[in-house]
Amino acid sequence: MRLVLFFVFFILNCNVFAQSIQTKVDTVKVHSPRTATLLSTFIPGAGQIYNHIAMPKRRKKAFWKVPLIYAGLGITTYYFIQNQTLQNDLKTEYYNRKNGGTLDAQWAQYDDYSIILLQDQYAGRRDLSILGIGLVYALQIVDANIEASFVNFDISKDLSMHIEPTYFGSNAYGLKFNFKIR
């Protein structure tokens, strides 16, 4: 029992440091996730640029997302326009067939039932394109908010841990771990 007490109180009572303690305190600029979110809401990609400007020099990596955001919005908008145009063309073709109007040679190989099926197919694709536009838009807003929350997150290597024995009473012993993250 004495050996256990000796081990707990004298051997484990030590300080462990991953780095030496810095005496210089960095000045932290206030960076608002709300501002980044609002900027991205009104102008897609503006929150990412705002985050890039506010980041310290060693972590500036937010600007590369802006071309991806506009590419995602552009591609989904392109597919929306294409599917909407084809869906409208098929709807016009079906009405022209029923009302005796001029027929388009592009759809001559299809019967009426096939025209209806194609029109439904392109309407479904159009709806998925709208969903894609909304997802890209929402993801860039969420990304700007999350990244703004981590702009002032400390990733320094100055981490320290202090281990000391603790007595809880009625013959209960334990260890206390104190972590200092600067």
Q: For residue 15, which amino acid is it? A: N
13-17 — which CB contacts under 8 Å span 24+ positions? 13/163, 13/164, 13/165, 14/163, 15/160, 15/161, 15/162, 15/163, 16/160, 16/161, 16/162, 16/163, 17/160, 17/161
Give the model confidence (pLDDT) of 15-65 as tens digits.
444 444 454 455 556 788 899 999 999 999 999 998 888 877 766 677 888
Domain edges within the chain: 1-22+157-182, 30-155
Report the alpha-carbon distance of residue 62 to residue 56 in Å, rounded. Answer: 11
Task: Indicate the SS3 state at residue 177.
Answer: strand
- Both tokens assigned to 94: 């079906």
Give the model confidence (pLDDT) of 86-122 as tens digits.
999 999 999 998 888 888 888 889 998 999 999 999 9
DSSP code for 55:
S
β-sheet with 14-17: strand ranges across:
14-17, 159-169, 172-181
Q: Give the Cβ contact number of residue 48 at 10 Å.
A: 24
**Phi first, then psi: what are they for 163, rounded to 5°?**
-110, 130
For residue 131, which of 85, 82, 80 has the smallest C-alpha distance?
80
166: which strand partners?
174
Residue 28: per-residue pLDDT: 54
| pTM given for the model | 0.67
